[in-house]
């Protein structure tokens, strides 16, 4: 079997409303799917992390840089291909967009391997430790409105997300430390005793401001404080973890095993959040997961993107060993964006129906059992949203 073509599909549409987080507002949803074709008719699908113009730029890396390196290679030699591409791109970026692009290709190769074997991804990895995972719903995005309007909306939305059946909910912050503390208090009130809540800062604080918000979160009982400071600020992460009782989480903006080694050896995270569509794909994710568990750091995957990303993460969560084990082990959760996402809800020939599963099954989501990542995109849907770039 040989690789005959690698294609990027950049999908985009205008959102019903503008959404924001601590770094920017956005009004369009983007997804970057990667399709790898073979001479035996087996096709694999993957996804690259990165919205908007980042996705368009990554398309050039996938098709113009990586594709010529791997045409004619055996897609089953995915680890050989991974290291071949990484070594040839090392001089041009061990992190960032080259790794995002390699991620999509690597996921597609694993999808091919599962289809050739007739097995779901979790079986290729070693089996399912669980047949379903709990999901948490994130929302409470920033908008161009007053702090008072944010407070009222966040309180109601937090309660509404738990009312959908999700086990926990996650909010955005980024209006400034004092305003953000008010937002967190509103969410804590909306959640009450019905579940947990988490706070995602998208690295908007200095260390001192992060301590201000983090101390407020301690009093409110937040489960974790995500990306409180810049991903480069390893000292800040270590200081926050040592000085706060709320769990410190992060890692979505880190890449490959060498970047993750630095984070873990620094002991700055209570919860690791690797992003499989960015850090180097499934091949590298498995190495990062092993590193995390070697440092006794539990993992809750960062999940953002289309149904391809969601299905891939469900497979990985199924195959994740319990840490540390026991009768009632600590369990991972599936991250689910509750905002409008047609590329997640309408992309597949057979939708995952995450929200429906959550509502019907007490917050739990089943693991796809089809071969590979277990899902198949609808080509007509792709054509209707694909950018001509």
The residues annotated as belonging to the active site are 302
Burial class (CB in 10 A: 0-12, 13-18, 19+), 168: buried
Q: What sign results for the dihedral spanned by CA atoms 34, 309, 93, 294? A: negative
| Residue in the block written with tokens 């995450």 | 354
Q: Cα–Cα distance between 150 and 133 in angstroms, integer?
A: 31
Q: Which of 329, 319, 317 is nearest to 364 (CA)?
A: 317
DSSP letters, 126-173, are T--S-SEEEEEEE---B-SS-HHHHHHHHHHHHHHHHHTT-SEEEEE-
Q: Cα–Cα distance between 341 and 179 in angstroms, integer?
A: 28
Give yes or no for a contact between 223 and 273, defined as CB atoms under 8 angstroms apart.
no
Cα-based distances in Å from 337 to 172, 219, 279? 12, 26, 20
Q: Cα–Cα distance between 1 and 196 in angstroms, integer?
A: 48
- Bridge partners of 168, per DSSP, are 136, 196
Q: Cα–Cα distance between 170 and 156 in angstroms, integer?
A: 13
Q: Which of 296, 364, 285 is nearest to 329 (CA)?
A: 296
Give yes or no for a contact between 70 and 105, defined as CB atoms under 8 angstroms apart.
yes
């Amino acid at each position: 079997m040989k690789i005959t073509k690698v294609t990027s599909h950049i999908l985009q549409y205008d959102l019903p409303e503008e959404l924001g987080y601590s770094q920017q507002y956005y009004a369009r949803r983007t997804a970057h799917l990667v399709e790898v074709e073979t001479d035996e008719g087996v096709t694999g699908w993957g996804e690259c992390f990165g919205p908007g113009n980042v996705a368009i730029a990554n398309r050039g890396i996938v098709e113009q840089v990586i594709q010529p390196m791997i045409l004619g290679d055996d897609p089953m030699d995915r680890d050989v291909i991974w290291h071949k591409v990484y070594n040839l791109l090392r001089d041009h970026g061990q992190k960032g967009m080259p790794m995002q692009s390699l991620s999509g290709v690597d996921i597609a190769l694993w999808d091919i391997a599962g289809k050739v074997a007739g097995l779901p991804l979790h079986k290729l990895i070693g089996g399912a430790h669980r047949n379903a995972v709990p999901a948490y719903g994130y929302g409470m995005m920033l908008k161009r409105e007053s702090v008072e309007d944010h407070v009222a909306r966040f309180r109601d939305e937090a309660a509404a997300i738990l009312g959908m059946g999700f086990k926990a909910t996650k909010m955005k912050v980024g209006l400034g430390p004092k305003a953000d503390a008010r937002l967190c208090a509103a969410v804590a009130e909306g959640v009450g005793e019905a579940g947990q809540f988490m706070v995602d800062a998208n690295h908007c604080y200095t260390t001192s401001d992060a301590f201000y918000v983090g101390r407020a979160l301690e009093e409110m009982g937040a489960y974790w404080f995500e990306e409180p400071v810049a991903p480069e600020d390893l000292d800040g992460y270590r200081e926050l973890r040592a000085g706060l009782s709320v769990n410190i989480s992060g890692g979505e903006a880190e890449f490959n095993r060498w970047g993750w080694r630095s984070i873990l050896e620094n002991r700055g995270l209570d919860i690791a959040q690797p992003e499989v569509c960015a850090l180097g794909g499934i091949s590298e994710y498995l190495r990062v997961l092993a590193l995390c568990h070697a440092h006794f750091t539990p993992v809750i995957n960062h999940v953002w993107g289309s149904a391809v990303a969601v299905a891939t993460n469900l497979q990985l969560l199924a195959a994740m060993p319990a840490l540390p084990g026991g009768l009632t082990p600590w369990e991972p959760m599936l991250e689910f964006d509750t905002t409008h996402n047609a590329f997640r809800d309408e992309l597949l020939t057979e939708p995952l129906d995450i929200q429906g599963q959550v509502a019907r099954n007490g917050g739990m989501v089943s693991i796809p059992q089809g071969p590979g990542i277990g899902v198949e995109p609808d080509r007509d849907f792709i054509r209707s949203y694909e950018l001509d770039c």
